[in-house]
């Protein structure tokens, strides 16, 4: 495989949750090109399953889309070194009020590999204990339980387009609900 070489990386903007860089790259044919790079500290998400087998979802406004979305609970790591399992448990409790009696890794995704290094570890949470939400000051989150079939229908109808949620619901359905 031919080598691609980074000649330089310049910080263009530093944000609250990501940094934007412009990389100068030399590609195998010798051309020098500019590529955008978004550095993200990573995130964790969780598929909470209640005692009836329903998935606990959150509805919240997403400014980038200018609309409400239905998603699994998730959030960014507080530091790049924070264990993602801890972040998933924290986000579950903050956004839904539930605590998990059992939590295990379901899958890992990379959200936008063309220009961003964001990695999200997605966990499965069971044996839930209800409590109260602990939302950040900029969050307004509604919580509702859905069956896997209801969520699958919403995915294929285009009502759920969030990549982490689509991947998580379909992975959960395939691993825990399929009758082969």
What is the pLDDT, as a whole number, of residue 101? 97
**Average of per-residue pLDDT across 33-47:** 97
Indicate the pLDDT class of residue 17, thresholds 50, 70 and 90: confident
Gyration radius of the chain over CA positions: 19
Q: Where are the beta strands (DSSP E) in the chain?
A: 5-14, 18-26, 32-40, 43-48, 55-62, 67-71, 74-76, 99-110, 119-129, 141-146
48-63 tens-digit pLDDT: 999 999 999 999 999 9
Indicate the pLDDT class of residue 122, thresholds 50, 70 and 90: very high
In this prediction the pTM is: 0.93
Residue 71 has pLDDT above 70, yes or no: yes
**Average of per-residue pLDDT across 31-39:** 98
Indicate the pLDDT class of residue 2, thresholds 50, 70 and 90: confident
Indicate the pLDDT class of residue 133, thresholds 50, 70 and 90: confident
Residues 6+ apart with CB under 8 A from 124: 46, 47, 49, 103, 104, 105, 106, 172, 176
**Average of per-residue pLDDT across 147-159:** 98
What is the pLDDT, as a whole number, of residue 45? 98
Token digits for 106? 């379901």
Q: What structural domains does the chain harbor?
A: 5-39 (no CATH), 41-177 (3.90.79.10)
Per DSSP, 106 falls in state: E
Query: In the predicted model, what is the mean pLDDT of the chain?
Result: 95
**Average of per-residue pLDDT across 65-76:** 96
What is the pLDDT, as a whole number, of residue 180? 53
Residue 18 has pLDDT above 90, yes or no: yes
* 137 noted as active-site residue: yes
**Average of per-residue pLDDT across 142-161:** 97
| Residue from 137, 139, 150, 153 carrying the catalytic annotation | 137
* Rounded percentage of the chain residues whose pLDDT exceeds 90: 89
């Amino acid at each position: 495989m031919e080598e691609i070489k980074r000649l330089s990386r310049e910080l263009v903007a530093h944000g609250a949750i990501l940094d934007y860089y412009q990389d100068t790259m030399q590609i195998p044919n010798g051309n020098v090109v500019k590529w955008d790079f978004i550095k993200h500290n990573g995130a964790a998400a969780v598929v909470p399953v209640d005692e009836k087998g329903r998935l606990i979802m959150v509805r919240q406004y997403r400014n980038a889309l200018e609309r409400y979305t239905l998603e699994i609970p998730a959030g960014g790591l507080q530091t790049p070194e924070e264990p993602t399992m801890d972040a998933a448990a924290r986000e579950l409790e903050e956004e839904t009020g539930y605590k998990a009696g059992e939590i295990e890794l379901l899958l890992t995704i990379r959200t936008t590999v063309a220009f961003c290094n964001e990695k999200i570890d997605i966990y499965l949470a069971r044996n839930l204990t209800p409590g109260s939400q602990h939302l950040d000051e900029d969050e307004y989150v509604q919580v509702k339980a859905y069956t896997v079939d209801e969520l699958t229908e919403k995915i294929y109808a285009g009502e759920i387009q969030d990549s982490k949620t689509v991947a998580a619901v379909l992975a959960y359905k395939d691993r825990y609900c399929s009758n082969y």
